[in-house]
Amino acid sequence: MANEIIGNLDGQKLRIGVIVSQFNETITARLLKGAREAANSHGIKEENITIVFVPGSFELPAAASKMLETSNWDAVVALGCVIRGETPHFDLVASESARGIGEVSRKFGKPVIFGVLTTNNMDQALARSGGSAGNKGFDSMSTAIKMVGVLDGIEKFTNINGATE
């Protein structure tokens, strides 16, 4: 029989950092609201959530790195919104924020969740921040909670069974 490791949505003992981009604040405020709703519905105590605001999505990885370097959060959720414009700026910011967030997660071995909307227009952003397509802030917080359980499960399995090659 195969070994299975799966995360759950029990956040009662978790400490979660949430980093929110202030650029496109109309959207990121909605993402934050969704993240807080998910945290509440999955049992995370309000005092175990730390919210940090940064100027834009490009700054999310630096803040996530500093948070994990200086304290013991179980996971970090990075929320932002980059809307395509007339120049390549969109591609640079979206790509670098995604790359940086992934890099921080690998460096610290903790979930750092990419909750950055990358949309073609404001209507798409509104739809994904509490509109017809749900709320990616809610989804990102739920993913963070599950990933804490997944990574803990992998660590426990490895400790019990020894490292494999």
d(CA 64, CA 112): 7
Active-site residue list: 89
How many CA within 13 A on the CB side of residue 85? 10
Question: DSSP 3-state assignment of 48?
Answer: helix
Q: Where are the beta strands (DSSP E) in the chain?
A: 16-21, 49-54, 75-83, 112-119, 129-131, 134-135
Q: At what angle do helices 60-70 and 89-108 cross, to 10 degrees?
A: 10
